[in-house]
Amino acid sequence: MVQPSHDPGRPKVILLTAPRDQFEPGAQAQPVPRNAPTMALYYLAGILRAAGYGVEAIDTAGYRAFMLDPGTQVAGALAIGISANTMNWPGALRAARAIAGLPDRPWIILGGLHPTLFDEHALDASGADFVVRGEGEVVLPALLDMIARSGSRHRGGGGGGDGSRHSGGRGGGGDESGEGSREKVMESAAGLAGVTVRAGGAITRGPDRPPLSPEELAAMPLPAYDLIPTGFYATIPVEASRGCRFSCGFCSIAGRRGHRAIPFDSVVSRIREVARHRGRSTGGTLLFVDDCFTACPDMIRIAEFIAAEYPNVPLAIEARADDLLRPGLVEALSACAVGVVQVGVECGYKDGLRRVGKGVTLERIEEACERLRDAGLARVLNAAYILGFPWEGTREAVDTVCFALALGRRTGYLAQLAKWAPFPGSRFTDALGLPPDTFDTLDWLTDEGIRAKATPHLDADDWKTVSEVTRLLKFLYSDVRVVG
Grade residue 253 by pLDDT with cuts at 50, 70 and 90: confident
Confidence band for 199, pLDDT divided at 50, 70 and 90: confident
pLDDT digits (tens, 9 = 90+) for 5-59: 445 567 999 999 999 865 444 444 444 457 899 999 999 999 999 999 999 999 9
The length of the chain, given as a count of residues: 484
Sign of CA dihedral 295, 253, 286, 43: positive
pLDDT above 70 (res 426) = yes
d(CA 21, CA 83): 15
Region 213-225 average pLDDT? 96
The pLDDT of residue 185 is above 90: no
**Angle, in degrees to the nearest 10, between helices 139-150 and 39-50:** 50
> What proportion of the chain, given as a percentage, has pLDDT over 70?
89
The bridge status of strand 130-132 relative to strand 381-387 is unpaired
pLDDT at 157 over 70: no
pLDDT higher than threshold 70 for residue 463: yes
Beta-carbon contacts of 475 under 8 Å, excluding residues fewer than 6 positions away, are none
Of all residues in the chain, the percent with pLDDT exceeding 90 is: 81
Query: What is this structure's pTM?
Result: 0.91
What is the per-residue pLDDT for 176? 42
Q: Work out the average pLDDT over 462-479.
A: 95
How far is C-alpha 32 from the chain's CA centre?
A: 18
Q: Any alpha helices (H) in 382-447, and if so which ranges?
A: 394-411, 427-430
List, edge to edge, every strand of the sheet that includes 314-319.
Answer: 235-238, 285-288, 314-319, 337-346, 381-387, 414-419, 481-483
pLDDT, residue 175, reads 40
pLDDT mean over 455-467? 97
Are 260 and 210 within 8 A, CB to CB?
no
Res 182: pLDDT:
79
Mean pLDDT across 295-323: 96
Q: State the pLDDT at residue 254.
A: 85
Whether residue 154 is predicted with pLDDT greater than 80 in this model: the reply is: no
User: Mean per-residue pLDDT for 229-255?
Assistant: 92
pLDDT per residue as tens digits for the range 78-102: 999 999 999 999 999 999 999 999 9
**What's the confidence (pLDDT) of residue 30?**
45
The mean pLDDT value of the chain amounts to 90
CA distance 481 to 247: 29
Residue 400 pLDDT exceeds 70: yes
Mean pLDDT computed over 152-163: 54
For residue 174, pLDDT over 80 is answered with no
Q: Is pLDDT above 80 for 287?
A: yes
Q: Are strands 414-419 and 12-17 parallel, antiparallel or unpaired?
A: unpaired
Confidence (pLDDT) at 29? 42
Do 403 and 360 form a contact (C-beta atoms < 8 A)?
Answer: no
Tell me what the mean pLDDT of segment 186-197 comes to. Answer: 91
H or E element that contains 233: none
Q: What is the pLDDT of residue 171?
A: 33
pLDDT of residue 153: 63
**In contact, 247 and 259? CB cutoff 8 Å:** no
